[in-house]
Amino acid sequence: MQPNLQTTYGQTPGSTALLAQQRNRVLRNTYALLALSMIPTVLGAMVGINTGFSFFAGSPVMGFLLFLGIAWGFMWGIERNKNSGLGVALLLGFTFFMGLMLSNILRVALGFSNGGMLIAMAAGGTGTIFAVLAGVAATTKRDFSGIGKFVFAGLILVLVAALANAFLQIPVLALAISAVAIMVFSAYILYDINRIVQGGQTNYISATLAVYLDVYNIFTSLLHILMALTGERD
């Protein structure tokens, strides 16, 4: 009797190996583009710090809404062009814009005597969180797709609370929002990386956008908490 070369799902070993190669390629391209996206982010932050750029100087609420509008416009354009080079260009433009926005919190951090250390700690903490969770998501056999609805609900909660606090300006609430944001976007790292590995995400541009936002929001939230708890004034 010849051995049955069909798997339970009707795929041959060859097709299964091909799918694994494709998923690994998407993951590698995602990591490569994510690393590349850090360059315009840093450039945008440097430009913002040196020019005093701020959307929030006049009205925090209008600034926050304007930021969301521009960010969502970029994300819409990236998704519309995710199968072309224009998608990569828009993604890099988006990361430059996010670097400009990042300059606001970096400028505040640098106002502390230990500001450089706080930024380094936030970057190191973000890198550690990403490395650990991405490693788990990429190597485990578990499918994390089931947490998608829960983390999306958490994301909506963070956005609503952030918008409310743009009016209220309550420091304790801002800290609570940052803590919840770290948990939500850490869960999103598990979800987004695992989605690539499981074959649910096959476009590396879309994947990079999702993972970039996870990393960006963890960094800013962690830096905010560190400034509030350990920032030292001259």
Q: Is the pLDDT of residue 5 over 50?
A: no
What is the rounded CA–CA span in Å between residue 105 and residue 111? 10
What average pLDDT does this structure show over 193-218?
94
pLDDT computed for residue 185 by the predictor? 97
What tokens appear for 204 in the block? 């590396």
Length of the chain: 234
What is the rounded CA–CA span in Å between residue 12 and residue 106? 52
What average pLDDT does this structure show over 104-108?
93
What average pLDDT does this structure show over 176-196?
95
Which residue reads 């990569």 in tokens? 88
pLDDT computed for residue 13 by the predictor? 56
> For residue 21, what pLDDT band results from cuts at 50, 70 and 90?
confident
Average pLDDT, the chain: 89
pLDDT computed for residue 8 by the predictor? 42
pLDDT tens by residue, 24-34: 899 999 999 99
Is 173 within the bounds of a domain? yes
Q: Is the pLDDT of residue 231 over 70?
A: yes
* Residue numbers of the domain that contains 145: 13-230
pLDDT tens by residue, 137-162: 998 888 888 888 999 999 999 999 98
Is 5 within the bounds of a domain? no
pLDDT computed for residue 6 by the predictor? 39
Is 202 within the bounds of a domain? yes
Q: Is the pLDDT of residue 66 over 70?
A: yes
Is 146 within the bounds of a domain? yes
Backbone torsions φ then ψ of 228, nearest 5 degrees: -70, -35
**Could you please report the per-residue DSSP string of the chain?**
-------TTS--HHHHHHHHHHHHHHHHHHHHHHHHHHHHHHHHHHHHHHHT--SSSS-HHHHHHHHHHHHHHHHHHHHHTTTSHHHHHHHHHHHHHHHHHHHHHHHHHTTSTTHHHHHHHHHHHHHHHHHHHHHHHHH-S--GGGGHHHHHHHHHHHHHHHHHHHHH--HHHHHHHHHHHHHHHHHHHHHHHHHHHTTS---HHHHHHHHHHHHHHHHHHHHHHHHHHH----
Is 6 within the bounds of a domain? no
What average pLDDT does this structure show over 71-91?
95
pLDDT computed for residue 227 by the predictor? 95
Structural domains of the chain, count: 1
pLDDT tens by residue, 166-175: 788 888 999 9
Is 225 within the bounds of a domain? yes
Name every residue whose Cβ is closer than 8 Å to that of residue 89 and which is 6 or more positions away in sequence. none
Is 28 within the bounds of a domain? yes
Q: Are the beta carbons of 224 and 206 closer than 8 angstroms?
A: no
Is 167 within the bounds of a domain? yes
pTM for this one? 0.89
pLDDT tens by residue, 26-56: 999 999 999 999 999 999 999 999 998 877 6
Scored b (16 or more CB within 10 A) or e, 82-92 reads beeeebbebbb
> For residue 85, what pLDDT band results from cuts at 50, 70 and 90?
very high
Can you say whether the dihedral through the CA atoms of 56, 62, 68, 70 is positive or negative?
negative
